[in-house]
Amino acid sequence: MPEQQQSGVKLGVFVGGLAVALIAGFGLGKVVKPASPTAGGPVPQATASEGHVHATGASAGSEVGGLAISSGGYTLTPLAHDATKLSFVIKGSDGKPVTDFTIVHEKPLHLILVRRDFTGYQHLHPTMAPDGTWSVAADLSKPGLWRVFADFAATAPGGAQNAMTLGYDITVPGDYQPQPVPPAARESTVDGQTVTYEGTPVVGATSPMLFRVAGNPTLEPYLGSFGHLVVVRQGDLAYVHVHPEPQLSGGAVKFWLAAPSPGTYRMYFDYQIGGKVRTNEFTLVVG
Ligand SMILES: [Cu+2]
């Protein structure tokens, strides 16, 4: 796939910008406060591996993303939605729609939808009209509350990249019966495919997390890496998006995570085999 072959180049482009994006919690601890540079993980370097890119430029702080509709001069403005689609614009500090975005993991903007009770997850890639209006097909047919995360890096005049995740809620009216969060588990089966993970994230230091796809199928790059991990905190739906090391580790996809706080999280692991993308979900409890 040509798109994937270009990913190395594109990844290079966003190294700087995304550093701030994934600000937060997971992955951050490693750089802000290296628990132990000799703990076995590679030392974070801007060009060392995409797995550490997000942490590299992070400054102090342990905030997570996706909690605000407006941040750093950028404002997500919802336009419309119905059962099958949604649209929005992102405005700059001048109040005008932003139209210049940096390609990050092959897309100018990643839109993640998570139901507030964790019973739904959608990872979408809207397209932008020349006027800055983003639109995408989405399944908003089930009644309930959705959190919408727009994960992007806006390119400021002069070239600076402002990476961030903004969020807003969509309420689909109707009979909503929120479900309890499933218990913590290290194994998940979706669409017949089982995935397990090893590793235990803690607050204040990064820990390796290895996701292993059962049966050892050939993992295909999906949006520029062997896997994507979106982690959402129960209670406020704080959002963290982590990318793995570029090489598999003993056949597993390896991420570095630091928990932003104690709490319960739902982890969504996106990966591709046989041309098909699946998302396996896990509940994680950080003590
Ligand atoms: Cu995406």
Whole-prediction pTM:
0.80
Above 60 in pLDDT, residue 49? no
pLDDT at 37 over 70: no
Instruction: Please name each of the domains of the chain with its CATH number.
Output: 187-286 (2.60.40.1220)
pLDDT of residue 63: 53
Distance 40 CA to ligand 1 centre (A): 29
Spacing, Cα 14 to ligand 1 middle (Å): 14
Query: How many angstroms is it from 66 CA to the middle of ligand 1?
Result: 15
Query: Which pLDDT belongs to residue 152?
Result: 96
pLDDT of the residue at 204? 86
pLDDT in tens, 142-180: 999 999 999 999 998 888 899 999 999 999 999 999 999
CA of 122 to the centre of ligand 1 (A): 10
CA–CA separation, 144 and 223 (whole Å): 29
The region that residue 112 occupies, defined by phi over 0 for left and psi between -120 and 50 for alpha, beta otherwise, is beta
**Alpha carbon of 222 to ligand 1 centroid (Å):** 9
CA of 161 to the centre of ligand 1 (A): 18
How many A from CA of 110 to the centre of ligand 1?
4
In angstroms, the CA 253 to CA 246 distance is 9
Given a contact cutoff of 8 angstroms between Cβ atoms, the answer to whether 142 and 120 are in contact is yes
